[in-house]
A and B are shown apart, each in its own frame.
Chain A
Amino acid sequence: MPDTSDLLVISDLHGHYGESHVLHGMNLSVRAGEVVTLLGRNGAGKTSTLRAIIGILGQREGSIRVSGTETIRLPSERIARLGIALCPEERGIFSSLTVAENLRLPPRLKAGGYTDEEVYGLFPRLLERASSQGTKLSGGEQQMLAIARIIRTGANILLLDEPTEGLAPVIVKQIAEVILSLKQRGFTILLVEQNFRFAAKVADRHYVVEHGKVVDEVAASDVTRRMPEIQAYLGV
């Protein structure tokens, strides 16, 4: 049952792309300061859920409450201003902007975001490459940039869509450290992951998504015990 410390509460969320119905009544909630993952096979509807939360899924019904505010009818830019930000699966680095411009693009919405010094402290590579074209960065660097630009806006809920996808193990490790430090700083994070080892390292809870619905929930403390089940869900 959602309690008052829930920052993000989704109930009976349905979503469509044109004719095709992809979310079939999602229910989930995330408490302040938690890191929660959405696990599931390809096409389960994880990305669509994040898109629905931030308001860019064409059609959605049901309820999504962000810090107590119902957002199901709000346009994306209004939802964002409630303090929520997305790091998209495809990273979304703009090629016509430099690294520094990409970083500063999202306007500051609230107090409490990272300062530029803190951001560059966390991601020194971005300072070195500040004036190069955004898309000239390596995949790992682009992922760092995509995370960096949403932590300085003051948004306190971050939606991260497969931040480790296609990256080398050392970079994955770095990203895990970044996420842990974000958590320490008090960010609330909803993380989509295919890499369960990574997810297990950073998350407090896991939701399993299948066919556009949450079908199970696993607390971090239960992970070892329920490993076989989880592996069955993920088909590994």
Chain B
Amino acid sequence: MATLFGIPLAALSGQLLLGLINGAFYAILSLGLALIFGMLNIINFAHGAQFMMGAFVAWLSLTYLGLGYWWALLLAPLVVGIVGIIIERTMLCRLYKLDHLYGLLFTFGISLLIEGFFRQLYGVSGMPYAVPEILTGGLDLGILYAPIYRLWVVAASVVVCIGVWLAVDKTRLGAYLRAATENPTLVRTFGINVPVLITLTYGIGVALAGFAGVLAAPIYSVNPLMGSNLIIVVFAVVVIGGMGSILGSVVTGFGLGILEGLTKVIYPEASSTVIFLVMAFVLLVKPAGLFGKETGGAAQADNGHARSERGNLKTLGIPLAVLLAVFAVAPFAVYPIFLMKALCFAMFACAFNLMIGYGGLLSFGHAAFFGMASYISAYTAKQWGFNPELSILAAALVSGGLGAAIGGLAIRRQGIYFSMITLALAQMVYFFCLQAPFTNGEDGIQSVPRGHLFGLIDLSSDMTMYYFVLAMFALVYLAIVRIVHSPFGRVLSAVKGNEPRAVSLGYEANRYKFMLFVFSATLAGVAGATKALALQLASLTDVFWSMSGEVVLMSLIGGLGTLLGPVVGAFFITGLQNYLAQFGAWVTIIQGLVFIICVLVFRRGIVGEIQGWSSDLMKRSGKLNAGASHGESKLSTPPA
């Protein structure tokens, strides 16, 4: 048998073909993302869900309408595109003037909604979709036997990619698109209807995802989760390529697919993480990406996502005391296990919120710290017999270290790139946890002993454990308050308010952000570790991307950038989950809806809204007073 460097050529070329196929999907999806980003300035998180939707349209139209593969290739992009256009026209278009992060959050909500919807209807087991008759069988290419369908997928996607590139680069509509990407306002003054162009772009971008979904249907089974993991890899691809050029994203997509295929032959364990590693490397040597132009994305001045910290200063000491008092008596009324869980998530959300509220950076990867810490404390407590305080300390140190590694890479980019990078790196941590033996894979670490605090206090009763968790919460909360009010916190506020100015004053903005990130990761670790002990379980759920999404949601609904908001949000979401637990995928659907509603109409969150109202009231009464005194002073002026 022919070999190359001791690897059978057949295996090598077989994996290369598989890699090429993955590359084809990366290319089509990142192409769509780049198109949409160019026009809308939004990272379409729903892209994976729309890809899945394409596959489902194919399956549904075959099952219920008897329409085969070729019809599906036409129908799916159309359906997905039209749904996309409706979403854009009714909701997405309201977000263009806001911080880009809201677009990310909104489309994340959409993706949860779509995914939850299909999961509710069709479960997660996946439905087979047959290869169309004329594409069955294979070709013997000498060194390998290649299934015709796979060759078709590669050919079809190459044609589509080149087609899109030609359309954008050579046609009149393409010229409109490129011009509007650069300067939409000026393009409008020429009589070109840019809003329609934007809608069309979104429609076409997601239609491409739908098309890829149909191509994928016969290869992977049709299942509601097929898009969400893929999209994270595609984010990494986009970060690697940079979104500057169409051809760049296509080349990067195919290239990385092939690289992944090669890795599968040479070192299979790394095949699921190799793209993330490449991303880390590219961030180190060329942060803007291989084909990227740094579009001055640094420090967007619009920071609508965070309330001013000053508003919170006043409302700070009292709530904590009241909060602790309420929590102290709560377990007599509410199930302590639930309370512990909610408190752990409250800690987690507070830690996450530190990053967005004071660093202006939205991390979509905080599950990595929470989950990793949860494994470490569970493992050290169970296998090494660490006391709770020791296992939490160990976990916090590990997650702090992890935070240093991830933060060091991620803060090289700003805004949505930061979010995508943290998400991708966290996915790498997830794959590590999936494969590393100490985590027990799918089973997780169960029956974690709660142990004796300082070797003295037995935490095995829920009540005692509850008060320990409450103490941890108070500790974390106070630590955050301390940071926010330290000189360090004030510098951070300055950096966040106006980064260029802070930099010109001599602050190294990135160093401060890095320190903040490590701190936030450490506290997220404390939360995860405490959770593992309290619920006696560490599992893959803790480290999965959906956990990162949940913590974002908690902070968003409570009020991004408020101190108390994450606590409120954590209780709200944990309660919701508890209540909806028996309804399966409804949890996801509702979470998606909450995301969407929050972003559209409730951006300040519960606590933010309340603070807003009260400060409005204060302002109004202040104005009245001012008016009154003004009037008085006028009255008392002696007549001339």
A residues lining the B interface (CB < 8 Å):
54-56, 75-77, 80-81, 85-86, 88, 92, 94-97, 101, 104-107, 109, 150, 153
Contact = CB atoms under 8 A, between A and B. Distances in A.
A13 B178 CA distance: 33
A150 B192 CA distance: 13
Nearest to B174: A101
Contacts of B176: 105
Contact of B183 (A55, A75, A92): A92
Contact of B178 (A56, A96, A106): A96
Closest 4 CB pairs of A and B: A80-B191, A106-B190, A76-B188, A96-B178
A80 B178 contact: no
25 contacts: A55-B188, A55-B189, A56-B185, A56-B189, A77-B190, A77-B191, A77-B193, A80-B189, A80-B190, A81-B191, A86-B186, A92-B186, A94-B182, A94-B183, A96-B181, A97-B179, A101-B175, A104-B175, A105-B176, A105-B179, A105-B190, A106-B191, A107-B190, A109-B191, A153-B190
Contacts of A75: 188
Contacts of B191: 77, 80-81, 106-107, 109, 153
Given A88-B186, A94-B182, A106-B191, 17 more contacts: A55-B189, A56-B188, A76-B189, A77-B190, A77-B194, A80-B188, A81-B191, A86-B189, A94-B178, A96-B181, A96-B182, A105-B179, A106-B190, A106-B192, A107-B190, A109-B191, A150-B190
B192 A77 contact: yes
Contacts of B181: 96
A219 B336 CA distance: 86
Contacts of A97: 175, 178-179
Contacts of A109: 191
A75 B190 CA distance: 12
Contacts of B188: 55-56, 75-77, 80
Contacts of B179: 94, 96-97, 105
Q: Which of A76, A109, A153 has the most CB of B within 10 A?
A: A76
A158 to B, nearest CB: 12
A76 B175 contact: no
Nearest to B177: A96
Q: Which of B179, B191, B193, B194 has the most CB of A within 10 A?
A: B191
A134 to B, nearest CB: 10
B185 A76 contact: yes
Contacts of B193: 77
A88 B175 CA distance: 19
A97 B180 CA distance: 11
Q: Which of B172, B178, B189, B192 has the most CB of A within 10 A?
A: B189
Interface string B191-210: 11110000000000000000
A76 B186 CA distance: 9
Interface size bracket, B side: 10 to 19
A152 to B, nearest CB: 11
A92 B189 CA distance: 11
B188 to A, nearest CB: 4
B182 A85 contact: no
Contacts of B186: 86, 88, 92
Contacts of B178: 94, 96-97
Contacts of A92: 183, 186
B189 A54 contact: yes
Interface residues of B: mostly helix, strand, loop or mixed? helix
B121 to A, nearest CB: 41
Nearest to B176: A105
Contacts of B182: 94-96
A74 to B, nearest CB: 11
Interface string B412-436: 0000000000000000000000000
Interface string B318-359: 000000000000000000000000000000000000000000
Nearest to B190: A106
A85 B179 CA distance: 16
A156 B176 CA distance: 22
A153 B181 CA distance: 22
A185 to B, nearest CB: 20
A55 B190 CA distance: 11
Contacts of A153: 190-191
A104 B182 CA distance: 16
Contacts of B189: 54-56, 76-77, 80, 85-86
Contacts of B190: 77, 80, 85, 105-107, 150, 153
Contacts of A107: 190-192
Interface string B49-72: 000000000000000000000000
A189 to B, nearest CB: 16
Nearest to A78: B191
Contacts of B185: 56, 76
Contacts of A80: 188-191
Q: Which of A56, A81, A95, A101 has the most CB of B within 10 A?
A: A101
A99 B206 CA distance: 31
Contacts of A101: 175
A80 B185 CA distance: 12
Contacts of B192: 77, 106-107
Interface in B4-22: none
Nearest to B180: A94
A75 B188 CA distance: 9
Contacts of A55: 188-189
Contacts of A104: 172, 175
A153 B192 CA distance: 12
Contacts of B194: 77
Nearest to A98: B175
A92 B182 CA distance: 10
B243 to A, nearest CB: 13
Contacts of B172: 104
B197 to A, nearest CB: 10
A94 B189 CA distance: 14
Contacts of A85: 189-190
B96 to A, nearest CB: 14
A187 to B, nearest CB: 16
B175 A105 contact: yes
A144 B254 CA distance: 42
Contacts of B175: 97, 101, 104-105
Nearest to A135: B182
A155 to B, nearest CB: 8
Q: Which of A81, A92, A109, A153 has the most CB of B within 10 A?
A: A92
A88 B194 CA distance: 18
A123 B17 CA distance: 53
B178 to A, nearest CB: 4
A77 B190 CA distance: 7
A102 to B, nearest CB: 8
A85 to B, nearest CB: 7
Contacts of A54: 189
A85 B189 CA distance: 7
Contacts of A77: 188-194
A86 B188 CA distance: 11
Nearest to B188: A76
B586 to A, nearest CB: 41
Nearest to A100: B175
A96 B185 CA distance: 16
A101 to B, nearest CB: 5
Interface string B145-183: 000000000000000000000000000100110110111
A95 B293 CA distance: 13
B515 to A, nearest CB: 34
A55 B172 CA distance: 24
A107 B175 CA distance: 11
Nearest to B172: A104
Interface in B112-126: none
A5 to B, nearest CB: 24
Contacts of A106: 190-192
A162 to B, nearest CB: 16
